[in-house]
């Protein structure tokens, strides 16, 4: 593929993110992984620069182990890793780096970022590289792998993949004389919310005010969508509005809280339940002082839950010899053993079928039923709505609409009408780019 960065698409991405308060100072790097001294002294032939957002806590430890293990097995390849605080921070830095020539060779790209780099023709089609390396791509969990398949190419491999999951304080639920059946539907949870509020927990539920990802499942549960596959914006239709008003009323009645640190608020016992990523399962469980339970996201008229997380991409400007080394790193990071260990150490989904089926993983799941719930929910998930993952800034725009509902108590119809107009305007540039690239 001929490499061509669309300055319009990249600068548009940056401008949209900045306007919505999501961009940070570009190029900031908190720390660097380098090869151990023994490996550095061997005169390695290829250096791979790798940008990641996993640098601290249990997830950072798990990322470090993969890097160190890879270098021990491949002493002719050095991984130099720059760590960014989050997906958006990394992507914003990559936008700038692609224009200044300081881009990495490999980057973690989240569910809402990889597509804009695809549109800018800034990432490599991995299909021929995976074939040349002999990677068994059929072993990837196909619902996760094919989300990066576009126009006959493969633009990432799944790595830190997750789904939203309902976490609950089992001790608080039992103390209230309730059981897990209250999480079957959003209506049954609303009925139980007064009993859960003001007992051992202050609230029945806590959510991030701008969680357009986790709350997307609730919109689906009520029969709504943010948009369809053809970019028709549907968020202001009655079903989605019903979901928005459900959570607005839950907060208005004092049963729920909108917190910028909902994961911590849940882990410290402030609320009885919360929607959080499966990728936080290990860290939240270690932080909590109570017995954590997990459940599928509640239904309403139907079940709704999306996939999420991030994959590994190779930047298009990387030299051929670096791409050949980089595909080894991608394969190693997601092979059967590492996919299993990464899942166990973090809570992210195992991205290989062979990992799920392995004896070690099955033994782990038997001892960790909360992780089993996440895996059992995965086959019921769906790819995300186009408005969130394919429109630059779509996630931030949707998040701002949710915040307007939950924090400002704006009626959902008004908030969703406003964001629908914004999304309709922003989608046109995406459709033009898709047509130019894919015909």
pLDDT 10s digits, 178-219 = 999 999 999 999 999 999 999 999 999 999 999 999 999 999
Give the separation between CA 247 and CA 108, rounded to whole angstroms.
32
Burial category of 438 from C-beta neighbours within 10 Å (exposed 0-12, middle 13-18, buried 19 and up): exposed
Nearby residues of 291 by Cβ (< 8 Å), 6 or more positions away: 169, 170, 171
Q: What was the pLDDT predicted at 427?
A: 96
Write the CA distances from 342 to 27, 54, 68, 295, 374, integer angstroms.
Answer: 27, 12, 14, 21, 15
| Residue 277: strand, helix, or coil | strand
Residue 207 has which token pair?
């959510």
Q: What is the mean pLDDT of residues 11-34?
A: 35
Q: Does the pLDDT of residue 35 top 90, yes or no?
A: no
Write out the H or E segment, with its range, that includes residue 92. helix 87-100
Residue 352 has which token pair?
């290989």
The dihedral formed by the CA atoms of 129, 135, 139 and 145, expressed in degrees to the nearest 10:
-10
Radius of gyration of the chain (CA): 22
User: 28: pLDDT confidence band, cut at 50, 70 and 90?
Assistant: very low
Q: What is the mean pLDDT of the chain?
A: 91
User: 349: pLDDT confidence band, cut at 50, 70 and 90?
Assistant: very high
Q: Does the pLDDT of residue 342 top 50, yes or no?
A: yes
Q: Does the pLDDT of residue 109 top 50, yes or no?
A: yes
Give the separation between CA 399 and CA 203, rounded to whole angstroms.
22
* Placement of tokens 């039992």 in the chain: 174
Q: What was the pLDDT predicted at 45?
A: 83
Q: What was the pLDDT predicted at 194?
A: 98
Q: CATH code for 164-305+383-424?
A: 3.40.190.10
Q: What was the pLDDT predicted at 36?
A: 32
Q: Residues of the chain with pLDDT > 90: what percent?
A: 89
Q: Does the pLDDT of residue 16 top 60, yes or no?
A: no
Give the separation between CA 299 and CA 152, rounded to whole angstroms.
35
Provide the 8-state DSSP code for 79: E
Give the separation between CA 341 and CA 65, rounded to whole angstroms.
10
Q: What was the pLDDT predicted at 439?
A: 83
Q: Does the pLDDT of residue 14 top 60, yes or no?
A: no
Q: CATH code for 7-162+309-367?
A: 3.40.190.10
- Look at residues 24, 47, 28 and name the one whose alpha carbon lies nearest to residue 104: 47
Work out the angle at residue 162's Cα, subtended by the Cα atoms of residues 161 and 167, and round it to the nearest 5 degrees. Answer: 160
pLDDT digits (tens, 9 = 90+) for 134-152: 999 999 999 999 999 999 9
Q: What was the pLDDT predicted at 56?
A: 86
Q: What is the mean pLDDT of residues 88-104?
A: 97
The dihedral formed by the CA atoms of 117, 311, 31 and 42, expressed in degrees to the nearest 10:
-100
pLDDT digits (tens, 9 = 90+) for 153-177: 999 999 999 999 999 999 999 999 9
Residue 194 φ/ψ, nearest 5 degrees: -60, -35
Q: Does the pLDDT of residue 245 top 80, yes or no?
A: yes
Better pLDDT: 45 or 76: 76
Better pLDDT: 17 or 115: 115
Provide the 8-state DSSP code for 307: -
Work out the angle at residue 50's Cα, subtended by the Cα atoms of residues 48 and 53, and round it to the nearest 5 degrees. Answer: 170
User: 31: pLDDT confidence band, cut at 50, 70 and 90?
Assistant: very low
User: 124: pLDDT confidence band, cut at 50, 70 and 90?
Assistant: very high
Q: What was the pLDDT predicted at 166?
A: 98
Q: What was the pLDDT predicted at 248?
A: 98
Better pLDDT: 368 or 38: 368
**Beta strands per DSSP E along 216-352:** 256-258, 273-277, 292-295, 308-314
Domain segments of the chain as ranges: 7-162+309-367, 164-305+383-424
Q: Does the pLDDT of residue 222 top 70, yes or no?
A: yes
| Residue 210: strand, helix, or coil | coil
Write the CA distances from 73 to 61, 67, 265, 291, 384, integer angstroms.
Answer: 18, 10, 41, 39, 37
Q: What was the pLDDT predicted at 24?
A: 28
Fold matches, 7-162+309-367 and 164-305+383-424: yes
Give the separation between CA 55 and CA 73, rounded to whole angstroms.
22
* Placement of tokens 């459940």 in the chain: 295
Nearby residues of 332 by Cβ (< 8 Å), 6 or more positions away: 66, 69, 70, 73, 74, 338
Residue 5 has which token pair?
């960065």
């Amino acid at each position: 593929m001929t490499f061509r960065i669309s300055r319009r698409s990249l600068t548009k991405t940056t401008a949209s993110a900045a306007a919505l308060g999501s961009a940070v100072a570009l190029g900031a790097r908190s720390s660097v992984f380098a090869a151990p001294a023994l490996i550095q002294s061997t005169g390695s032939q290829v250096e791979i620069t790798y940008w990641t957002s996993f640098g601290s806590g249990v997830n950072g430890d798990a990322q470090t182990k993969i890097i160190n293990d890879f270098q021990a097995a491949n002493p002719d390849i050095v991984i130099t890793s720059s760590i960014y605080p989050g997906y958006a921070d990394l992507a914003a830095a990559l936008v700038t780096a692609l224009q200044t020539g300081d881009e990495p060779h490999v980057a973690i790209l989240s569910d809402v970022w990889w597509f804009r780099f695809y549109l800018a023709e800034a990432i490599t089609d991995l299909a021929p590289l995976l074939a040349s390396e002999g990677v068994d791509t059929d072993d990837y969990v196909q619902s996760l792998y094919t989300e990066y398949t576009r126009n006959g190419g493969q633009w990432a491999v799944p790595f830190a993949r997750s789904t939203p999951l309902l976490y609950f304080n089992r001790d608080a639920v039992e103390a209230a004389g309730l059981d897990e059946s209250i999480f079957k539907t959003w209506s049954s949870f609303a009925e139980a919310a007064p009993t859960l509020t003001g007992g051992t927990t202050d609230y029945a539920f806590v959510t991030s005010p701008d969680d357009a990802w986790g709350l997307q499942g609730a919109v689906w549960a009520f029969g709504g969508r943010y948009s369809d596959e053809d970019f028709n914006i549907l968020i202001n239709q009655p079903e989605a509005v019903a979901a928005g008003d459900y959570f607005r009323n839950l907060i208005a009645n004092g049963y729920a809280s909108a917190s910028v640190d909902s994961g911590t608020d849940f882990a410290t016992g402030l609320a009885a339940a919360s929607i959080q990523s499966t990728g936080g399962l290990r860290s939240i469980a270690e932080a909590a002082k109570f017995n954590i339970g997990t459940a599928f996201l509640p239904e309403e008229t139907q079940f709704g839950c999306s996939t999420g997380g991030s994959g590994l991409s190779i930047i298009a400007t990387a030299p051929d010899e670096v791409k050949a080394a980089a595909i080894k790193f991608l394969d190693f990071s997601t092979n059967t053993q590492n996919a299993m260990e990464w899942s166990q150490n973090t809570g992210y989904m195992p991205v290989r079928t062979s990992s799920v089926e392995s004896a070690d993983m099955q033994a782990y799941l038997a001892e960790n039923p909360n992780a089993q719930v996440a895996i059992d929910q995965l086959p019921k998930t769906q790819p995300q709505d186009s408005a969130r993952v394919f429109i630059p800034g779509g996630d931030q725009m949707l998040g701002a609409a949710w915040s307007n509902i939950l924090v400002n108590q704006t009626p959902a119809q008004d908030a969703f009408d406003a964001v629908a107009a914004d999304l309709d305007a922003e989608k046109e540039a995406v459709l033009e780019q898709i047509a130019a690239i894919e015909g």
